[in-house]
Amino acid sequence: MIKQTQMLFSSYLFGIKDSDNGNSYSTILSLFFPELITAFVLMINIVDAQFVAQLNSTSLYTALGVTYTLLHTVTKIAEGLSVGAVIMCGHYNGAGDKKNVGNALSAALWVSFIVGGIVALLLFFGAHSIFVWYRVPERLVAIGSSYLKVRCLSIFCMFISYGIVGFLRGVKNTRMPMNLFLMGAGLFVILDYLLIFGKCGFPQLGIMGSAWAAVIQYICISSVGMTYLFLSRYHHLYQVPFLNTQVIRLMGKIFVVSLPVMVDKATLAIAKMWLCGLINPLGKVAMGTFHVIKDMEQFAFAPAVAFAQVVTLLVSNDYGSKNWLGIKSTIKKILFLSSLMVLTILCAFSLMPHMVIRLFDSKQVFTDFAATAFPLISMLVFFDILQLILAAALRGASNVRVVMLVRLASLILFFMPVSYALSLVPLENTLIKFILIYSSFYIGNGLMGIVYLMRFRSESWKRVSWR
């Protein structure tokens, strides 16, 4: 066991210094920085939460946090469709098949339209039941369900946006997705401020102003994105059709490829929903702590999220050309860079947790509790980085079912039973109970990372394909 660990570590060190195989650091970083900006832009919910926190209502802040936990799951489903588009477009692009790249784009848009519409309708009519399931007070149920119903239109447009972005990433264009999300984020922040607080003649809508700002944001992103696609060189270069028999066939294929990705991405998001449900009964302090720690970790995790997008598009293109050594070398370099960046941010937050947490807790209801819990929980975040990068790489290599099955097994066989058992332990110290329940999430992620690592050390990952 010790010898195998030493060999694994030696292989890792060789990979991060390998200049002959894989993509260079300059290539990786040139694709990474636009994705990093995109990742930070997509975290405007943190700015939104800070605006709502200024309303000086812990109940409103908690209601928004609970809603964002659900929206995070929905976003992961949309990202799953987007990754399916990245994989298909990337494989065809790597093989030089431009005609099928265009067909795959059309198929991705149709699938996004259909799935986005279904999800939006389900959430609209099931909003009240969802918040009852969260086991929050009745007042929060009313606030959250009203907020979610308005957000449903933005959810539909978000799916369309992610379909467009999936194509662009598949053909190695990370700048336009950055520009789209940057434009949307700027619009959202301005409207969010104006509508929440009623500035410059706008109505003061409070938390509902956030919902309407998101609706306008995603209508603009999807509209500009569609205009760009069909007026730019891409429409002519790839001969994008509206609908034909090949597009219909690829709609089925992209759904087959995307479904495991949607399930595996939603699995981790559902795990956070499960955590939220277990922590809510611990009281308002624990509830507030959960949401602020989640937001802090989301900010710190942005580089890893950006690198995950990069590793998927690079691996998908190298997989199309069967560059096996290059794939492994690229993964090791990206794992090194993402770990370095994320852990640096977490260390900085751990040295000054009170200062960061007070931005979201002006009344200091849960600041001390959260400041104690955050550094201890953050020590386990490396496990999440490992599984995220390896899972993204396996998706690029078409191992989408493997990622899905491993995440489902971890959720059902480890995380859910262990976290639930910990929630039943009769501990009087709420802080210790909170840390134990939250930490079980990262331990489960660590187990996933080990399985993904074993998959890459075998040869079977090369023989899986959606074609």
Lowest mean pLDDT segment, chosen from 32-41, 61-70, 81-90, 138-147:
61-70
What is the rounded CA–CA span in Å between residue 127 and residue 142? 9
Is residue 392 within 8 A of residue 371, CB to CB? The reply is no
Q: How does pLDDT run across 383-402, given as a tens digit for each residue?
A: 889 898 998 888 888 787 88
Token pair in block for residue 146: 């009203």
State the CB neighbour count (10 A cutoff) for residue 35: 23
Percent of the chain with pLDDT over 70: 86
Lowest mean pLDDT segment, chosen from 3-17, 80-94, 214-228:
3-17
What is the rounded CA–CA span in Å between residue 19 and residue 26? 11
Give the model's pLDDT for residue 244. Answer: 74
| Look-up of token digits 């992103």 | 221
Percent of the chain with pLDDT over 90: 12
How would residue 19 be classed by pLDDT, with cut points 50, 70 and 90?
Answer: low
Token pair in block for residue 8: 């694994």
Q: Comparing 256 with 375, which gets the higher pLDDT?
A: 375
Domain hosting residue 397, numbered range: 2-463
Give the model's pLDDT for residue 413. Answer: 92
Count of structural domains, the chain:
1
What is the rounded CA–CA span in Å between residue 131 and residue 146? 10
Q: How does pLDDT run across 262-288, given as a tens digit for each residue?
A: 787 778 778 887 888 888 788 878 888
What is the rounded CA–CA span in Å between residue 66 and residue 333? 36
Give the model's pLDDT for residue 43. Answer: 67
Q: Comparing 310 with 76, which gets the higher pLDDT?
A: 310
Give the model's pLDDT for residue 344. Answer: 92
Using the predicted structure, report yes or no on whether residue 353 has a pLDDT greater than 60: yes
Using the predicted structure, report yes or no on whether residue 466 has a pLDDT greater than 60: no
Phi, psi of 80 (to 5 degrees): -60, -45
Give the model's pLDDT for residue 418. Answer: 94
CA distance to 88, 281, 346, 381, 414, per residue, from 444 (Å): 30, 22, 20, 11, 7
How would residue 202 be classed by pLDDT, with cut points 50, 70 and 90?
Answer: confident
How would residue 169 be classed by pLDDT, with cut points 50, 70 and 90?
Answer: confident
What is the rounded CA–CA span in Å between residue 387 and residue 382? 9
Predicted structure pTM score: 0.69
